[in-house]
Structure formats: structure tokens, C-alpha cells
Amino acid sequence: MHTVVVGPFGTTAEDVIAVARGNARVELSGEALDALARAREIVDALAAKPEPVYGVSTGFGALASRHISPELRAQLQRNIVRSHAAGMGPRVEREVVRALMFLRLKTVASGHTGVRPSVAQTMADVLNAGITPVVHEYGSLGCSGDLAPLSHCALALMGEGDAEGPDGTVRPAGELLAEAGIEPVELREKEGLALLNGTDGMLGMLVMALADLGKLYTSADITAALTLEALLGTEKVLQPELHAIRPHPGQGASAANMAAVLKGSGLTGHFQEESAPRVQDAYSVRCAPQVAGAGRDTMAHAALVASRELAAAVDNPVVLPDGRVESNGNFHGAPVAYVLDFLAIAAADLGSIAERRTDRLLDKNRSHGLPPFLADDAGVDSGLMIAQYTQAALVSEMKRLAVPASADSIPSSAMQEDHVSMGWSAARKLRTAIDNLTRIVAIELYAATRAIELRHGLTAAPASLAAIEAARAAGVEGPGPDRFLAPDLAAADAFVRSGALVTAVEAVTGPLA
């Protein structure tokens, strides 16, 4: 099994995905253990002093003015975990919880939190045992970090609350720890707070969203090319010299992808024919690289933000190398929240343009000779009419999901925490948006492949034919009389979601961007 080594200087997106989705084993490096030990010595020294130090010998948030005596500090750390584990609603996905736990371990391993090495080791042991705390949909305002989700994870480290075992069954966390031979942690000064105070949930979801969107944008370039082909459009708008004079990197990459798919097509370039005279393709076809490219550039910016956060140690207070323990506002999720919202906007627009292309394929007045709704016997058959309804419903929801969560701060903690990021909410709605976008692209694929097969006497590009062949082999049926359509659409969704569409095309074109 792949092993991810956690050191004191951050982690990578690849490691997050390996742990969250690939169940990679986690180990702490010797450097991380040394950093943890040094920072803990500083916290222990401060705890022995009579002066109050926030997070070490005081209450939290609006209650930070109370100095906590030594005999109550262990109880204080337990209580903050218990009281903050206040989530409600459905469970979030296992991969999200594993990403959250791993990223919290990444910050703990930096040596800036003051957590003992034994606590960090327990965090790694829980991940390696396949124990996943139950975390709920609601409870995080994205400041001070993802408090409620992280608290549910910390609760499991204490042997309390519920967790999912490696067999998928939810049971008391204490039972699962005992079966795995893991001793529950007894939290000391600073440790409860250090386990809760980070952007780890929203960051983990950002990292996974970027991985999913990267494959999905390539899939959308392919389906856009298939639609251009099915509409007998022109590939001349994809010439690299046209995109070089507007040098947005994403635009050039999308245009190059589409051109690679269309290479050798016998369907493109017919739009000047007498049977279907037109001067230019519609915007949804002609501007496909510009729209998808803008989304690609948005992803590049989001990836830059994610890389900085992956290198960060987010906690409050933090232990500095010179021995100071200082309060800060680094837990505020605004940098991550903004790009999560930005990605949802870009995804909604990509879904919108894909739906417009699909609608054009189905409308006999705009499809340049294709049968109405791509039906076998229009009137008797409805063809893909209602598939487009489904696509339109998904697009409509994506537009609602594009409303930014990060613009909706709401005060909390008796006005001490009077501005919050809502980054967790931005991440949750982005995950839904990505699911919807996958379905939208799948419906365009379904329509475009059927339309190409209805262009009798004309031969599609080799890459297009490879996509059609692979889709049919995956259960995405071709033209014919009306049938129960939902299974076909589900097969198209699975085909796109698995990456099989990209794999099939790249077997002909070589690697796409």
C-alpha cells in the first residue's frame, strides 16, 4: 500500500487524494516528531506560569477572559471538543472526513500547534485503521476554521461519539479504537483547541474538486468537439494562431483539445452548403474554448490558493520558532472560500453552454438536417426531448449553487467572531455543482454521439469514433426507437465520471490538457 509521509512543511494535493480516496497509509517523519516535541516543551513551560495564555490557560472565544486553573485544564480541553461537536444533518462523505483528518494532522505535524507527538501519532493510527468519525453537513461557519466537523473528529480520538469502521458500519468510536488497539487520547493544555481550529474541511474539498474538475473540463472539451462535428460546424475557429492573439492559457488548451479530437473529421466544414447556409457557428459552439478556457484559468488560480494553504499551519494561537505563542486570525477561511465560490460560478457557466449545445442538436430548425429531438420516428417517438429537460433542470440548480456563500457572513460567539467565511458551505455546494456538471456533460455526450451516428454518409474523426465505440461498449445506447431512457443516461454519467471518455479519446489523440 502507498505510504504518505507527513513532515513539518506541509503536504501536496496528490497526498491528500491518496489518503482521502486511496486509503494510503500515513506516517510521521522524524522531523515532524522533533518539531512536535520542541513545540510541546514551549507549551508546557507556558502552562506552568501564573500569567494567562490564550488557548493554554484561558477559555475560548468570547470566554477567553477567564483564567483556568491547572486542575481544570484537562477538563477544559475535553469540554471544548464535546461542546463544539455540535453538527447536525446528514453525514458527509468518507473521503471528505479522511481529507479533513489528514490535513489537520499536516498542521499538527508542523510543530506550530503545541500538540504532543503522541496525539499526532494517534491521529495517524486512526486514519490507518480505517476509522472515520461521523461528521455532519451543518456546523461550520468557516471561521474559526471548520470547528464542528473537526470537533467530531477530535471526539473520536477521545474514544467518544460515533465513527464508521473499516467494514462501513457506524459504531461507538471507543469500541472501534479498542478493536484497533488504539488508546484514546487524554487531552492536555492547548490540544483540544489545536485539533479544531483550521480550514481543513474546506481545503480538502477544494483539493478533490480541482482533481474532479480537471478531468471534467477535458471531458467537456471532447463533448463540445463532438457537438461541433454533429452540427457540421467548422473547426477553423480552433486554429492556434487565433488563440495566440488572445493568450489566455486555458482558452488555448481547450481549443487544442477540441482540434485534436476533430482531426481527420469528415463532418466538419459543411456549413456553407446550400442545404444549410450560415456564415458562423452559434456562440455555444464557436466560443466553447473561450468559456471552458476561462474555467480552466479559474482552476489554475484556485490551485495556487490551495497550494499555499497546503503549505500553511493554521491554528490559533500558534507556537513560533522563537518560543512565543501568539494569537492570530489565520483560521479565517476567506482565501479558500472565495475560490470555492469562483469554481462554482465557472462550473455553472460550463454547464450552461453545454446545455445550449445539446438543445441545438435537438431543434430541427437549428440542427442542420438532424431529425427533431434526434427521434427515430418524430411524433411517434419523443427522442431526447426530456433528456434535455433533465439537463436544463440541472443547469438551473447550478445557477442557484453559483450564488457565493462567502458573501454571506453571519456573526457568532456573542459578536466576538463577528465575520466568518462560510467556506465549508461554499465547498459543500461546489461538490453538488460538480455532480450536476458531470450529468450535464454526460447528456451532451449522449446527444452528440447519437447525432453523429445519424449523419449517414459522413465519417466522424477517428477520436470521435473511438469515443462512440467506448460509450456503446459501456452501455450508452445509440439511435433507435424510444426506450426507457434513464438507464442510458446513467450509463453515460458513469462513463464520463469514471474518466473512460477521456481515456478512449486519448488512445487516439495522445494526452489532452
Query: Over the stretch 407-425, which tens digit does the pLDDT of each residue have?
Result: 999 999 888 889 999 999 9
Dmax (CA) of the chain: 91
Phi, psi of 199 (to 5 degrees): -95, 25
| C-beta of residue 258 within 8 angstroms of C-beta of residue 209 | no
User: Roughly how many angstroms between the first and final C-alpha of the chain, as a whole number?
Assistant: 29
Return the closest-CA partner of residue 292 out of 261, 315, 336: 261
Catalytic hit among 54, 217, 283, 389:
54
54 given a catalytic annotation: yes
Return the closest-CA partner of residue 208 out of 510, 435, 450: 435
pLDDT of residue 152: 98
* Of 13-22, 207-216, 242-251, 320-329, the least confident: 320-329
Instruction: Kindly tell me if the per-residue pLDDT of 272 is higher than 60.
Output: no
Please tell me what DSSP assigns to residue 72. G
pLDDT digits (tens, 9 = 90+) for 356-412: 999 999 999 999 999 999 999 999 999 999 999 999 999 999 999 999 999 999 999
**Which residues, 6+ apart, have CB-to-CB distance to 373 below 8 Å?**
362, 381, 382, 383, 384, 385
1: number of Cβ within 10 Å = 8
pLDDT of residue 26: 98
For the record, the C-alpha cell of 345 comes out as: 460560478
pLDDT band at 232 (very low <50, low <70, confident <90, very high): very high
| C-beta of residue 147 within 8 angstroms of C-beta of residue 197 | yes
Distance CA 394, CA 443 (A): 11
% of the chain surpassing 70 pLDDT: 98
pLDDT digits (tens, 9 = 90+) for 309-337: 999 999 999 999 898 989 899 999 999 99
Instruction: Kindly tell me if the per-residue pLDDT of 275 is higher than 80.
Output: no
Does the N-terminal peptide bond of residue 240 adopt cis geometry, omega within 30 degrees of 0? no
Positive or negative: CA dihedral 178, 183, 189, 193: negative
| C-beta of residue 452 within 8 angstroms of C-beta of residue 460 | yes
